[in-house]
Amino acid sequence: MRTVPLGRTGEQVSQLALGCMLMGTSTGEAESFEMLDRYVGAGGAFLDTADCYAWWPGPPATGGESESLLGRWFARTGRRDDVFLATKGGAWVADPAAVLAGRTTAAEQYAGAGGDTLRHALDASLTRLGVDHVDLYYVHVDDLRTPLEEALEVLAGLVAAGKTRYLGWSNVQTWRLERIRQLCARHGWPAPVALQQEHSYLRKHPGADSLSVVDDEQLRYLRAHDDLTLVAYSPLLKGAYDDPAKRAGHHVMHSYAGADTDARLATVAKLAADLGVTNGQLVLAWLLHQRDPRRVALIGPRTLQQYEAAPPALDLHLDADLLATLDAAGA
């Protein structure tokens, strides 16, 4: 399992991270444990979860199930110290039933990044996980309602208290990220070392209104600031590369639809067929080959079969000509 630097912290983290979003709900306990055992047994050591995972499968799930399952796995295996553990706060949804019924949206219910909210959220996460600290704590969704100074001062306190070693931010625009960094420098607060955003081989179309998808501007920003590591979530776009039905009907494609995406999908399909691999494996290998900036690929498999399809991408070598062909594809 290859590793990449986490900013300038001196930490090396697994380049292929395992997202535990659906563990304990859509993925049952036995299958989740098997997935975790196989990942760590293969040398993987970067686990990602959040306090809100996962309310959307519906009752009786309300959030917290993923963290609780990881807590049981740590208790069973004693492997807490063998992994780099990340969780998130701020996107807790108080009334999942109302969201599922269409009476409100998840965004309207997000707990946000208020000081008391973050303090209580991390304490609750640590309890569910059965640990005294996490290695990385993200603000899950940028909160424009809360003064950044309030959130950053509290986060600094959480680091000082030993409840998290490092901080990250997710689903955030570049201008906000720069403001966060300026405030941290001014006040001597610990700055984020990880940026978790949706990122894949496909490129967001110019009219897409999404704060979560990395665009060219954000990549340029990351190239200029190597103290931030990009953790790319949904690199496989929920299986859309290998499933035309998902490309046609899944909301994950809304930010990408257009001629550029059609051309890149066609290129991936041709090259993957030539190599004898799946489209998804080629896309994942492309991401793992990126050096400027380096990226962590965060997969979130629902089944053991989906998990087993990912590690072969680590061994897939793409030469310079093939990478150039992939990069040049597009309308």
241 assigned to active site: no
Whether residue 249 has pLDDT greater than 80? no
pLDDT higher than 80, residue 331: no
**Would you state the pLDDT for residue 206?**
82
Q: What six digits make up the tokens of 225?
A: 């600031």
- What's the whole-number mean pLDDT along residues 199-217? 89
Q: Which two tokens stand for residue 174?
A: 């570049």
Distances (CA, A) of 196 to 9, 192, 253, 262: 17, 11, 19, 26
% residues pLDDT > 70 (the chain):
100
Residues 137 and 194: their CA atoms lie apart, in Å, by 9
**By the 8 A CB rule, do 314 and 282 touch?**
no
pTM (predicted TM-score): 0.96
| pLDDT of 116 strictly over 80 | yes
pLDDT in tens, 276-326: 999 999 999 999 999 999 999 999 999 999 999 999 999 999 999 999 999
pLDDT, position 76: 98
pLDDT, the chain, mean: 96
Question: Rounded to an integer, what distance in angstroms lies between the CA atom of residue 71 and that of residue 131?
Answer: 8
- Domains within the chain, CATH numbers bracketed: 3-239+287-319 (3.20.20.100)
Catalytic residue among 39, 53, 110, 256: 53
Mean pLDDT of 215-239: 96
Phi, psi of 102 (to 5 degrees): 80, 10
